[in-house]
Structure 1
Amino acid sequence: MEEFSAFSGRGNAAPVGTPLPNAIQKWPLLSNKLAQPQSATSIFAIALLAHVLLWTLLPSLLLRNASLDIIEALAWGHEWQLGYEKDPPLWPWVTEALSVWPGKNLWACYLAAQVCIGTVFVSVWQLGCRIASRREALLGALLLEGIYYFNFPTPEFNDIVLQMPFAALFGWLLHRALTDNRLRDWCLAGFVAGLGLWARYSMGAYLIPMAIFVLVHPVARRRLAEAGPWVLVATALLTFLPHMAWIVDSGFISIEYVARRAPEATNGLHYVAKLSSFIGAQLAALIPMLLLALMLWRWKNPNPPSPSDSRDFDRAYLAALAFGPIVFSVILSAMTQRPPRVMWAAPLLCYVGLFIATSIRPVLTAQRLRTFGRAWIAVLLLPALLFTLEQVARPLVTGKENRSHFPGRSLAAEVTDRWHAETGTPMKYVIGDTWYAGNAAFYSDDRPSALFVHGGYRFNPWVTPEQLKKEGAVLVWDAASEGADIPPIIAEQFPGAALQPAVSVRGPASVHQVGIAFLLPTETAMPEDGERLATSL
């Protein structure tokens, strides 16, 4: 194991055993580790643990209600389909599984999100140890903390967060496969690639650029004459095959959604403006990392290592891995004239920090380590502080609420109680938009299925008109914005519903008015109502 004396690099590094100033001993644990002659592995483990614990505890303690993405995933995952209107099924499956045993508490989802981010850190560290020193591997992993996408938004466990570990693992495993040429590494890389596509289709933004790299780079291209790359392709295709069959069987509804989310620009000027906004947002997301990198640049090693074939290959591979996905995405956007959405870039930046660290190769003395340690801790804690203020102070100061402040439990309890009083049967279905129907479905003790009105039965194949006729359903909507009467989009699809008094549920800063109506089951409906319902469905 490389000791921290080696991690300190050239220059005025403190030798092993040198007494440290008393002030250093008063620092938090990470700063102490940075200043002591400990291994880079220990420092990495402490930093990783600090991140995972901090970003698991904060949402577990502060968030009162599930986010929109988690609510949507819970509604889908409850049905255990091979695919859904917007996404492959892995994210809904994982979310549903994590919500079963803790009940309505979502700390397991918040922990899973940080396990995903932690896996990115581990993958970057592992690849860094293969192609550079442990010093540079550590710095490459620590720089990730300065990217917005790896901290503040991660409690909203979604398909983007779930794709990140597969993208990072693929980058590490593919390098192992190309350099060591072991069949197990090719199989693992293919399996991870396939799982990444089960998480999110944008995994292709890694697969295609790295496939181009293998075709273009002469060292990597030699592997095409051997079995390994084809084993990777076959494994990935076999892993993804069930969902591919679902895509065709569903009429490509999830592919249509991607097109709707990135609509074609109306003209060239509109596209350039949207793309510029996208690029500007990515630069803004990188600002803390770039500030840390600027600090390292001041300590750049003036004596770079001598070139070698293996180092040249590693350098080219890391450049393709760090920038290939984002460049590919921009090129694809330009070809289709569809501006990318800002958050779509989140999984594409996993290896930028490692590229920077291996490019700068800073000389780190004990004093410089202490300075970098302070800066890194600030980068870790500042987003956490902002997150805390957002959740705690926003309703009190601005009078406005986030979705995490929504009283979903109160809504579900009231709707469920009313349904039981009216029918004496469990609530099997809730119909409405994603937010209101999803909250009522998840937080209800009956845990009914949710049917989202924007897609009808095509987007909700787990329910049929015959089932609704037999079991009945609750219709919910935002009465404050859509009015007290049943909204036309609901009334047209589900005629015959009986309007009920609106539900009032109080949040920390406002009272939410939620409209409800009942589609009564045929067993409890009046004869004329049952005849109307049967005819309409």
Structure 2
Amino acid sequence: MNFIERYSLWLLITFQILVWGFIAPAFHTALPLDVAELMTLSGEVVIANYKHPNLPGLLLDLFIGITGKVEVVYLLSQLSIVAAYIAIYLLSREFIGKQKALVATFLTSSIFYYHWPTPEFNHNVLQIPLWALATLFSWRAVARQKLVYWSALGVIAGAMVWTKYSAGILLLWLFVWLLVTPCGRSSFKSKGPWLTGVLFIVIAWPQASYLIDSEFLPIYYAQDRASSGGFSDSVSFLGAQLADHLFFIILIMVGGLLGRGALSTKLDRPSDKTTFLWLVVIAPILMVTLLPVIAGMGLKPMWGTPMFNFSSLVLLYFMGGRLTDARARRIMLGGLLLLPLVGALYAVQHIYRADLSGKPMRTLWPRAEIALELRSAYQAETGSPIKIVAASYWLGGLVAASADDPLRVRVDGDPIKSPWVTDKDISKEGVLVAWLAGQALSASMTDFIESKGFKPLDAKRRSFIWHPSKADKPIQIEYIAISPSNNK
């Protein structure tokens, strides 16, 4: 066993954290969009908003509280991916053995969802380890019948609901698997499944309560974002997932896994494991893919993010017959080389894309300068420190993330989007209203400004340079500083 094989998993984890947790984000001068959005919830102890549950935001608040740095979000994101790798390896080892499990984990690292989008910590990224862990714990709970795994499954299942309500898809198929398999049904004679159910209900109950109290706002939000559906949408979704597996396919070809002798024998595929893969790993993907046809509901490609944790396990379980020691080493070495290569492409994009586009990448905005100047402008014009900002998710999150003192954000001035920042709070503390010049104001923002006795035309403007080569196309932000005494 050579060095790469002996330490392969640790090398993968190290490369993942270094490349995507430190090197790639080093080219950012601003937070990614979804991180800025999470910052609009920071410090509010919000369990959910009209879009999603807020476990990602609460975790980010915890990490910021420990380190004092919002940049810790990049490490948090990579720790999520690392947790997924460990779960993928552990389950794969039980199904296909140690060597194939290592290869499966490396193949998984080549899938788009595990590298390029990961600096942007969000609900999709957090779903990845939770889906992987739920799959691992459900198998071990039934196979080993130990309360520790049933307990872990209940906690992870509850956490999934705190991350995205679409977690119900995997939980549904886990329950189906328990009901239709002899080993699953026999489990109900023990305390395990009932303990899982109790833990899940206790943890998930606040989210169920929020859904009812909000009249299912997140469900309507998801419906509004979805396209009209139909067969073409299913094909489009599958095409997007295939494209996201491009490097995965390349590694398979480089490793020589396809061809005569690839199919594994039936003796290598026990029926209980085969049934588990079909119902828990494959069925959720098929269900989501067919939703546009069955329910007339369109899909966003990124909604498939957590569903491909075990693509490589399925591949090697059914078609791992050609894997040899040499081919395994080739795939693992290819995976290790791929991580810095894709990271380099990510960095090149940040360095040179500005020269090809008249529109700044969000992660190249001068976050610190924008926040400092807007805070200073508010202080100078009102004589009071800024406490609340009313802005879009993006701009509000940037200003809030850069403040020395915690800032509160009224997103788009809309009480539905930020009900925890009340009109009474704004009257007491004042507010900075800000928006991107030339951008049409939402009706809620216009109404908010006018309710304070101002008009959008009362705004002042500040300009910021986002890239030296684009000094002739500055970012222009308009703002109105409203002090407590100006509230009408």
Task: Give the TM-score of the pair, scaled to structure 2.
Answer: 0.91
The corresponding residue for 1:511 is 474
AA of the residue aligned to 1:394:
R
In the alignment, which residue of structure 1 is the partner of 2:210? 246
SS at match of 1:513: strand
Which of 410, 422, 428 is the aligned partner of 1:470?
428
Higher CA-based Rg: 1
Instruction: Say whether 1:109 aligns with 2:73.
Output: yes
Q: Comparing 342-351 with 124-133, which one deviates more in the overlay?
A: 124-133
Cα contact 1:144–1:350 (8 A) shared by 2: yes
SS in 2 for 1:76: coil
AA partner of residue 307 (structure 1)? L
Aligned counterpart in structure 1 of residue 195 of structure 2, from 214, 231, 242: 231
- The verdict on how the C-alpha distance between 1:334 and 1:427 changes in structure 2, with shifts beyond 3 A counting, is same
Give SS of 2:370's match.
Answer: helix
Question: Contact (CA 8 Å) 1:65, 1:406: kept in 2 or not?
Answer: yes
Matches within 5 A, 1:60-99: 60-99=25-64
Aligned residue for 1:316? Answer: 275
Q: 302, 321, 330: which one pairs with 2:289?
A: 330
d(CA) in 2 for partners of 1:303 and 1:360?
Answer: 4
Taking the aligned partners of 1:126 and 1:371, their CA distance within structure 2 comes to 21
Q: Within 5 A, what are the aligned runs for 1:181-330? A: 181-263=145-227, 265=228, 271-294=230-253, 295-298=255-258, 304=264, 307=267, 311-330=270-289
Instruction: Please report how far the alpha carbon of residue 259 of structure 1 lies from its aligned counterpart in structure 2 after TM superposition.
Output: 1.7
Asked if structure 2 preserves the Cα contact closer than 8 Å seen for 1:497 and 1:518, the reply is no
Helix, strand or coil for the counterpart of 2:464? strand
The question of 1:405 aligning with 2:405 is answered no
Partner of 1:283: helix, strand, or coil? helix
1:497 and 2:457 matched: no
CA 1:302–1:155 in 2, change beyond 3 Å: closer, same or farther? closer
CA distance in 2, matches of 1:274, 1:382: 32
Structure 2: tracts of 5 or more residues without a match: none
Partner SS, residue 40 of structure 2? helix
Q: Normalised by the size of structure 1, how large is the TM-score? A: 0.83
Q: Secondary structure at the residue paired with 2:390?
A: strand
Q: In 1, are the aligned partners of 2:15 and 2:336 still within 8 Å (CA)?
A: no
Cα deviation 1:314-352 (Å, max 9, x = unaligned):
122123332122112223443321111100001111111
Q: What SS is found at the alignment partner of 2:162?
A: helix
Alignment CA distance shift 1:425-1:164 (3 Å):
same
CA distance in 1, matches of 2:29, 2:66: 18
SS in 2 for 1:503: strand
Is contact 2:388-2:432 (8 Å) kept?
A: yes
Cα gap change, 1:188 to 1:147, in 2 (>3 Å): same
2:9–2:102 Cα contact (<8 Å) kept: yes
Amino acid corresponding to residue 470 of structure 1 in structure 2: K
Shift, 1:33, TM fit: 2.3
Q: C-alpha root-mean-square deviation of aligned residues, in Å? A: 2.3
Match of 2:313 in 1: 354
Match in the other structure for 2:3: 33
Conserved 8 A contact 2:252-2:331: no
User: 1:426 aligns to what?
Assistant: 385
Residues 1:368 and 2:334 aligned together: no
Q: Which has the higher contact order (CA 8 A, sep 6+)?
A: 2
Q: Which amino acid aligns with 1:440?
A: V
Moved more, 236-245 or 354-363: 354-363
Identify the residue that residue 141 of structure 2 maps to in structure 1: 177
Moved more, 279-288 or 390-399: 390-399
Look up the equivalent residue of 1:65 and give its one-letter code.
Answer: A
Rounded to whole Å, the distance in 2 between the matches of 1:111 and 1:414 is 28
Q: Which of 156, 160, 173 pairs up with 2:124?
A: 160
Gap runs ≥5 in structure 1: 5-31
Distance 1:369 1:353 in 2: 13
Q: Does structure 2 conserve the Cα–Cα contact (< 8 Å) formed by 1:194 and 1:236?
A: yes
Q: Is the 8 A contact 1:160 1:347 kept in 2?
A: yes
Q: 1:435 to 1:133 in 2, by over 3 A?
A: same
Number of residue pairs matched? 479
The match for 1:149 is: 113
Corresponding residue SS for 2:51: coil
1:203 to partner: Cα distance: 1.4
